[in-house]
A and B are shown apart, each in its own frame.
Chain A
Amino acid sequence: MSLSLSGIIATLNGFWERQGCLIQLGVDTEVGAGTMHPETFLRVLGPDPWRVGYVQPSRRPTDGRYGDNPNRLYKHHQYQVILKPAPAQVQDLYLDSLRALGIEPADHDVRFEEDNWESPALGAWGIGWQVLLDGQEITQFTYFQQAGGINLSPISAEITYGLERIAMYLQDKADVFDVEWTAGVPYRTVRHEEEFELSRYSFELADVELHMKLFEGALGEARRLLDSAGPRVALAAYDWVLRASHAFNVLDARGGISVTQRASMLLQIRKLACGVAAAHVEDRWPPAAKGSGPEARS
């Protein structure tokens, strides 16, 4: 009997908890990927070791298909793991996690193919692979090199599983809506209406002017915090950067922005994301105490 979607999540939680990961919850604001969670974006900065795993519901308005497409979703789910520093045998660990899910790599074509990851909006990039299971991309595997424009050390390994893709594979379903969420409950029952309504909203109904204001207001608030509210505001400012990023995604889907506008908006988000990263590093590892504070030794 193959695993249900919730069974996959439970298995990954158990597997990575045994590897010393803190099992967290997804961030409670709209994001496009698990990388944007502060448990990734901010924790990969600085010297402290860190291991975490969580499910991140990820909204990508432009990928919405009104629930009509068997593969594309307005909202999908990522299982995100951060291992910092990256263990020397991290690929083997990952392959063991597939075995835990009932995928014996020897019975399939499992391949690590070059795919370097980059998020212009976060000033972040890494080196790595997409992991292909019989030709289907099921995981993005990245050694982070930079986040918020800051060179990282130590290097974190990020493993991002596409949960729907893995469930479709394990359950041999050609349509994501036929995936069993939990025994007897199909994905369709749980999510189809949401896919339809949110696709409709972002393509047809979203108020462009309002979202433009939301975008500017959110960035303005982040900027105000970073510029003039003193230390220890980075986490609060980061929430606002995430909100701006989501407003941008809605506008992008709605067709409310031109190409040049798009580039300039991304640049504004990036600037503030970099500002947050710098402020966070400054707060946690102040220059005088860098490398000698209690945090750094942990």
Chain B
Amino acid sequence: MAEFLFEIGFEEMPAPWLSGLADQLKSRFTMLVSDEQIAPSDARVFWTSRRLVLAAGVKPRQDDRAVVEWGPAAKIARDAEGKWTKAAEGFARKQGVSLDQLSIAAKAEGSAEQYLSATRQIPGRPTGAVLVGLLPQILRGFNFARRMNWDAWLDDGRGAFEFGRPIQWIVALLDGDVLPLTIFDAVAGEKGAPRVVSGRRSMGNRFYPRGAPDRGFEVRSLGELQKGLAARFVILDPGERTGRIKSQCEAAGGDVSGEAAHLVHEWADLVEYPTVVVGSIPKEFGDLPDEVLETVLAHHQKAVTLPRGPDGSPRFAAISGGDETAAVNAARGQERVVIARLKDARFFYNEDRKRTIESRVDDLATVTFHKGLGTYKQKAERISLLATDLAGHLGLSPEATTMAGRAALFAKADLVTLMVREFPELQGVMGGLYAQATESAEVASAIRWHYHPVAIEEDAAPAGKLSGAACDAFSLVGLVDKLDSLIGYLGIGVTPSGSSDPYGLRRAGQGVIRILLDFWKAKAPNLDELVRDAHRLYGPALSKSTEDLQAALHAFLIDRLRGVLSARNAGSADEIEAVLSAKVDPLADVRATANRLRELGTVRSEQREVFAALAESFKRAKNIVGDTPAGSVDVAAFAENAERSLHAALVKAEATPSSAPAVRLKAVAGLRDVVDDFFKTTMVMVEDQRLKTNRLALLSRLLSLVYEVADLSRLASPAGENARPS
């Protein structure tokens, strides 16, 4: 085995791209060499902000290959005496083989048709020559989120060569021998002078070790590269960098789970030699709410919040690419930047608190919600009315109703505070904090959380943070706000398409589902009524009719419900479809829907084979019944025993409570044999109208038996799609 080593050195690549680029490098290499008979093995990739490295084992030489070329049919290739014809000679000449290398064979094994063929032996080329041809294709093969023109040129027939950032050096070696590759300047759309020429020379850290006259060093193998980099303040392995950061962070008392874990990974790709520095913030800023501190630290300085110091002063950890000496300056510099921002924040916080949240609602008239949908003041007034009405419909107490109405009215008021203008990610949070001055704790927390839930997991915020009246107020405001937005956008024809969802409608829809599933305590709200009320409040701004809008919202939310159930593994895909296709609106009570799904999963898992058979029978029944309106079954019209047995079993099953899905499902499972028997012995679509009508009615009743739980025909069955009408 020979070692192929490829390092692309570049100016700092965006950190979030790096691991993806390394994946691309590996799969591109693997794909390109897969047909080259060099048996690539153990391909590994590494990266830092300034380099991508690929190493793999390859055979030093391609295997020799035999290539079979096909010529004319055998009967043209040989004459009656079995000698090669002119046509065969011509073919041999064209393929560059002698006549004794020709043979007659079938193209496909067992085929009677015989053809002339020539087998050419292709000697394997040295792997180096093969790789040299592939290197430009590897370089060209990267997909960048954004690529740049850097006046570069590749001599591969395609010319201008864009990349993510300018390339500075290339190491391309096969067992220590240089594989030539040159990137040229592009000058006025033509090839210019060589710019980057591959070699053995890699580069160490930009600044360390101190005083080194030359940052470059020569390597012949991955081992030498790793050793050389380790001596030059570059940790090549991303896992090693992350590990170093984590342990340093933990040594400083930091918790590197959750959001911090994400930051730590980003840190590891920002610098080649990471060192965690700890900063301390003067105690006077300790009065700022934790949310504000964390936002300034995490979102604006990419820093991790640490436990406060013994005197209560906030602390944080940040990343530095410098050595231990530089780290001291880095910590001071970071502190200075953080403090400057916190000073701003403190000024905003103090200014904002000079006014009540209530007094800001009028200012919302200056903030556009959406140009077709009016201002945030209008939205605030609308959702306040909707929340109050809904609370009334649900029969909540007057106190709870007032609470929801107030929280909804003030929910958006922090959009006109200095703090939220400066730190938009604090929307909701600041409103909640500011509301505490004049409003009840329930109203304040409903404002605080009303943009949530944003994550799909059952235990994601605000799970566990709200209880009792506070949870009720949050549920109402969160639900009404999201529905109001959805109704507005859908009403003016804005719907998400593909990956484009600029107004976050999918997330809003998912939030609606989550509120109803995880937080809702009152009886299920009537969504159609809500659409009607919201439509009336929006007025002529919405171009869709109320009915169209109800249908559009319904379809949209069903999709989101499917998404939530599936993301949470609440059931298999076919079970989810079965439950969503039941003859009961899945949105009428999403918790009941989730419950039906759970029961279906449980009952089915106990009798898989039975449900597979039932799925098939139900498909069959559905196909036969089609759109025929269900008639009533006439016991006197039965001609077969199987009909009678099915009917008797049905009547028994129908006596089980339809409100207990598990019981009903088990009852249906018990019908399996009589149903099978019915289909085996009884023809439904017979000439005799009376028999036919009666049998159709019987099948309709079978279908209706569990239609309120699930449409069993949607479940996967062995015969699957092949079920055919009889």
Contact = CB atoms under 8 A, between A and B. Distances in A.
B59 interface: no
Nearest to A89: B168
B188 interface: yes
Q: Chain B contact residues (Cβ within 8 angstroms of A): what range?
A: 35 or more
B333 A133 contact: yes
B83 interface: no
Interface string A145-178: 1000001111100000000000001000010000
A111 B11 contact: no
A107 B325 contact: yes
Interface stretch (A21-29, A112-120, A233-241): A112-120
Contacts of B189: 153
A135 B318 CA distance: 9
B326 A109 contact: yes
Contacts of A286: none
Given A107-B329, A135-B333, A143 B148 contact: yes
Given A69-B344, A152-B149, A154-B151, A47 B330 contact: no
B342 to A, nearest CB: 12
Nearest to B187: A154
A98 to B, nearest CB: 11
Contacts of B12: 111-114, 129
Nearest to A115: B14
B151 A111 contact: no
Contact of A116 (B146, B187, B321, B339): B146
A81 B322 CA distance: 27
A147 to B, nearest CB: 13
Contacts of A109: 271, 277, 320-322, 326-327, 329-330, 333
Nearest to A126: B148
A143 B206 contact: no
A86 interface: yes
B368 A260 contact: yes
A183 B27 CA distance: 60
Contacts of B327: 109
A71 B340 contact: yes
B368 A174 contact: no
Contact of B188 (A47, A86, A105, A258): A47
Contact of A143 (B16, B150, B368): B150
Interface string B180-208: 00000011110000010000000000111
Given A105-B206, A129-B12, A134 B151 contact: no
Contacts of A95: 206
B334 A135 contact: yes
Contacts of A112: 11-12
Given A127-B148, A153-B151, A174-B340, A136 B333 contact: yes
Interface in B330-367: 330, 332-334, 336-340, 343-344, 347
Contact of B207 (A110, A127, A134): A110
Contacts of A111: 12, 270-271, 321
A106 B207 contact: yes
B188 A153 contact: yes
B41 to A, nearest CB: 35
Nearest to B370: A259
A108 interface: yes
Given A69-B344, A152-B149, A127 B368 contact: no
A86 B333 contact: no
B148 A135 contact: no
Interface residues of A, number: 39
A70 B343 contact: yes
Interface in A64-86: 69-71, 85-86
B210 interface: yes
Given A106-B322, A153-B189, A154-B151, A127 B330 contact: no
A91 interface: yes
B322 A145 contact: no
Contacts of B598: none
A71 B340 CA distance: 7
B192 to A, nearest CB: 10
A291 interface: yes
A86 B330 CA distance: 30
B329 A145 contact: no
Given A91-B11, A113-B12, A134-B333, A105 B207 contact: yes
B323 A108 contact: no
Interface string B456-474: 0000000000000000000
A70 B186 CA distance: 46
A114 B15 contact: yes
Contacts of B187: 154
B78 interface: no
A88 interface: yes
B301 interface: yes
B166 interface: yes
Contact of B326 (A106, A129, A136, A152): A106
B207 A135 contact: no
Contacts of A106: 207-208, 210, 322-323, 325-326
Contact of A260 (B165, B195, B210, B371): B371
A135 B165 contact: no
A163 B188 CA distance: 35
A169 B329 CA distance: 11
B166 A134 contact: no
A88 B166 contact: yes
Contact of B301 (A47, A135, A145): A135
Contacts of A135: 301, 318, 330, 333-334, 336-338
Given A153-B188, A174-B336, A258-B368, A108 B330 contact: yes
Given A106-B207, A113-B270, A85 B151 contact: yes
A42 to B, nearest CB: 19
A258 B371 CA distance: 10
A136 B166 contact: no
Contacts of B277: 109
A187 to B, nearest CB: 16
B326 A155 contact: no
Q: Which of A112, A114, A151, A174 has the most chain B CB atoms inside 10 A of its CB?
A: A114
Nearest to B371: A260
Nearest to B327: A109
Given A109-B321, A136-B333, A259-B368, A155 B149 contact: yes
Contacts of A291: 188
A108 B333 contact: yes
A105 B325 CA distance: 11
Question: Which of B14, B15, B301, B325: most chain A CB closer than 10 A?
Answer: B14
A260 B366 CA distance: 12
B333 A169 contact: yes
Contacts of B208: 106
A107 B339 CA distance: 22
B278 to A, nearest CB: 13
Contact of A145 (B148, B188, B337, B344): B148
Interface in B128-183: 146, 148-151, 165-166, 168
A70 B346 CA distance: 13
Contacts of A153: 149, 151, 186, 188-189
A165 B14 CA distance: 24
A68 to B, nearest CB: 9
A91 B340 CA distance: 28
Given A112-B11, A135-B301, A174-B339, 8 more contacts: A71-B344, A107-B322, A112-B12, A114-B14, A134-B320, A136-B337, A143-B150, A154-B187
21 contacts: A85-B151, A86-B151, A91-B11, A106-B208, A107-B325, A107-B329, A110-B207, A112-B11, A114-B14, A127-B148, A129-B12, A134-B333, A134-B334, A135-B330, A135-B337, A135-B338, A136-B337, A143-B149, A153-B149, A155-B150, A259-B368
Interface of A: 47, 69-71, 85-86, 88, 91, 95, 105-114, 116, 127, 129, 133-136, 143, 145, 151-155, 169, 174, 258-260, 291
| 6 closest residue pairs by CB, A with B | A134-B333, A114-B14, A109-B330, A135-B334, A112-B12, A109-B320
